[in-house]
């Protein structure tokens, strides 16, 4: 989201814990176990060397290359 200053501001959808603790109604986790099931995570920028899209490969500085892509 270009309007956010940091990935820390991205709201992360929390999916149902049952999606990772059960299969076909059969529980795979011990009784009482709690599970977190985020829909996605946010990769810290220090681990990103490029962003690959259908329109090309973006490289740092990302603010500039993303603006160019979004025009």
CA atoms within 13 A on the CB side of 42: 11
pTM greater than 0.85: no
pLDDT digits (tens, 9 = 90+) for 8-34: 899 999 999 999 999 999 999 999 999
Percentage of the chain modeled with pLDDT above 90: 65
Sign of the CA dihedral running 2, 48, 11, 14: positive
Per-domain residue ranges for the chain? Answer: 7-40, 43-71
Q: What's residue 12's pLDDT?
A: 95
């Amino acid at each position: 989201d270009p309007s956010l200053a940091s990935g820390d501001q991205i709201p992360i959808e929390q999916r149902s814990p049952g999606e990772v603790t059960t299969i076909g109604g059969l529980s795979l986790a011990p009784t009482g176990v709690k599970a977190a099931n985020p829909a996605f995570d946010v990769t810290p920028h220090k681990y990103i060397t490029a962003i690959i899209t259908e329109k090309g490969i973006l490289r740092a500085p990302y603010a500039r290359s993303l603006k160019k892509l979004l025009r």
